[in-house]
Structure 1
Amino acid sequence: MDVVIPATFVGLKANFTGVEDPKAHLTAFHTQMMLTRGSNAVHCNLFMSTLTGTTLNFFISLPDGHVTSFPQFSTSFMEQYIANRAPPPVSYDLFEIRQYQGESLKEYLNRFGAHVVRLHTKDGDMMVHAFRKGIMPRPFSESLVRSRAKTFSEIKRRVVAHIVAEGELTEKSDNVVPTRPQGPSRPQPMRVHEATTNKKAPTKQ
């Protein structure tokens, strides 16, 4: 409790109320603490400050001297709220991802990519097949049928190229085509026949 908080500490944003996933909370805490680089005691002290509401009762109920290190504190915390743990993801969860109605290709790619990172999957064929299965039937999906991508990295490159091409087409369609300016009309030269017939006939005396 007497530990000095480093000057680089700017405040924690992660709070635990007792209903969140404890592992996700620890991950968020570690991420915010990377810049602080404090000691083991600093981690214990600051982690305690992320507990709010009834979770403070958990900390108060710990016996005196129970917390001896941050890893040990983390283990006790995980065991206390293990029921809140989200079920471990499996690779086949990728096939449950579908492009929403009105969701752009970029948004779908980012959401799909986030699931790939979370699953830690390395099966390239599965990622390609799941992405193709979840995308809505649009010009880009048709291009994947005509020319199949071999890797998920190739899909990402093709998505970027498709988005750029769509942006250029949209920009061109929004431009108003200027009309050709019309200059002053020139009088057409009179033909010889027209000049003869337009002469006034001589008056009779």
Structure 2
Amino acid sequence: MGATLFHHSVLEVRLPKHFDKPTNMRYDGTQDPQEHLTAFEARMNLEGVGDEVRSRAFPVTLAGPAIQWFNSLLQGSAAKFSDISRAFFAQLTTRIAKVKHPINLLGVTQRSREPTRKYLDRFNDESLEIDGLTDSVASLCLTNGLLNEDFSKHLTTKPVWTMQEIQSVAREYINDEEVSQVVAANKRQPAYNQPRQHSGGNRLKEHARDGGPAEHSSRFPESENSPTTPTSSSLS
């Protein structure tokens, strides 16, 4: 058996046959930890289970930063649920105090020359740290921070967008923006591979002006069999 956070006394207890695991209770660190503990205790009381089963069932309800915290506990340290709940409350209460207010999103603006794709990634990361963020506030803050005028103008066509809708619409504008950037970059590159123009005729004319043989005026060379004017020697 691999390393485990649970004490052997917890692992030795079997889960009741008809125990309903609390998989529908999800805590990711953005809600009040005391409310989650109270709801979990009520659920376990309804199931009629003891301390060891509570200890094993509790991490099933955790997600995100909360489960990361639980997995960071020392091996074999999870022995009593009272110890787990106390450590959970202390850790997550501190994190809750750091949760940001929706007004913080107004400070997330697109930087000069920053690709729209990168700006949306930063905006989404910041949104995850805000508890109770509504779609109306998120779309308002996003529109306020956009430098992409076409995209920003499109977002004003509806009073409220869900973040999922914004992500879907954003793909079109991001693709157009990236194509334009590639085209602009190609135009800025020196034309090293362009075919060189033939300048032989010009060189010939320049040579003639310098006293050299002039360019033949005929477009086609004279044929060897073409008729010639007879000379006096050929008539005699």
TM-score, reference length from structure 2: 0.43
TM-score, reference length from structure 1: 0.48
